[in-house]
Amino acid sequence: MKLNITLHQRFLWLIFFNKGDLKLNSVKLAWSEDFSAWLIEFDAENSPAKTWVDYLYSHYTWPIIYWSVNSRRVIYYITNQQFELNRLGAGTSLSIKNCAICEKMIPFDSENNCLLCNKETKESLPTRHEINEIREFDLTISQGNFNPAIQKEKRRLLPIPLAAASARRVAFEKSYRNKVLSESLPEGKLLYRSALAFIQAWIALLPPDRTLVLDEITDALRKRYIHLDRLDRSELRSALALALSACYNKNHLIKIGKGKYLPVDD
């Protein structure tokens, strides 16, 4: 759901964010008791942390509200009803205006209902264990040195969307190629979004004169991450094949054989 806001409205909106800021390292994430929703501020439109949205969507039932600092007039709202756990939906447009009842600048839905005044009455919120787990995942993603065995094991346990966020983070910091990282992740199947994030990172990080081989990437990812290993191999391979094909069609790869590609340098 797309929300248009002014800079002044955004400042007022950040008051809600700062009240529940989790102060993480890899993503700017807050829990809002006012909206019973997650709030995320990304440092760019195509932030390396973008698949945090996928993680929150697939692991929790609360709505997600997010925006990027370089697009200050747009906020996105995902009503997380868990109807299709394997897909990330788009939603509908909302408007930001002053509510005569709560006297705040608040998102209104298409039926002109204030999001704050008309939120569900349930008082559920993330448990301390859930917040601590998010903090642990964030710490694993933000720590660059995975040589110690304990850190490798923590990385191995990352949920699939956060494993993708970790790969994107490394790629944005140490890439040989940057153009592929400018491609946004499309709406749709969560596994495909993560697969595309992995492939984009792989292309960005692959040293010169090295090839991308579908079967090798599939097996390497299954070995590295336990949740990918638990998937049927053919399901993961199919998602990665589609991601490679998408990058090939956008001229980031040269096909040299079945399931084999060379990256195109910037």
Confidence (pLDDT) at 122: 62
pLDDT (tens, 9 = 90+) of the chain, 266 residues, equals 555 555 555 665 678 888 999 999 999 999 999 888 999 989 888 899 999 999 999 999 898 988 888 765 567 888 776 656 687 865 556 667 788 888 777 777 767 888 888 877 666 899 999 999 999 999 999 986 656 777 888 999 999 999 999 999 999 999 899 999 999 999 899 999 999 999 999 999 999 889 999 999 999 999 999 999 999 999 999 999 999 999 999 999 999 999 999 999 88
- Would you say 177 and 203 are in contact if contact means Cβ atoms under 8 Å apart? yes
Answer yes or no: is 132 within a domain: no
Say if residue 121 is in the same domain as residue 41: yes
Cα torsion 233, 172, 260, 195: sign: positive
Same domain (yes/no): 6, 121: yes
State whether 205 and 234 are in the same domain. Answer: yes
Residue 64's identity, in one-letter code, is I
Give one DSSP letter per residue of 49-84, joined into a string. TTTHHHHHHHH--S-EEEEETT-TTEEEEE----S-
Q: For residues 184 and 101, state if they share a domain.
A: no
pLDDT given at position 103: 79
Long-range contacts of 121-127 (CB under 8 A, 24+ apart): 122/36, 124/36, 124/62, 125/31, 125/33, 125/36, 126/31, 126/60, 126/62
Q: What's the pTM?
A: 0.90
The whole-angstrom separation of Cα 256 and Cα 246 is 16
37 Cα distance to chain centroid: 16
Closest CA to 228 of 257, 197, 187: 197
Residue 18 lies in a domain: yes
Task: Let me know if residue 135 belongs to a domain.
Answer: no
Distance CA 212, CA 96 (A): 46
DSSP state of 27: S
Number of structural domains, the chain? Answer: 2
Which pair of structure tokens corresponds to residue 239? 């998602």
Residue 97 structure tokens: 């205006």
Q: Is residue 133 part of a domain?
A: no
Full residue range of the structural domain in which residue 185 is found: 143-263
Res 81: pLDDT: 64
What pLDDT is recorded for position 82?
Answer: 60
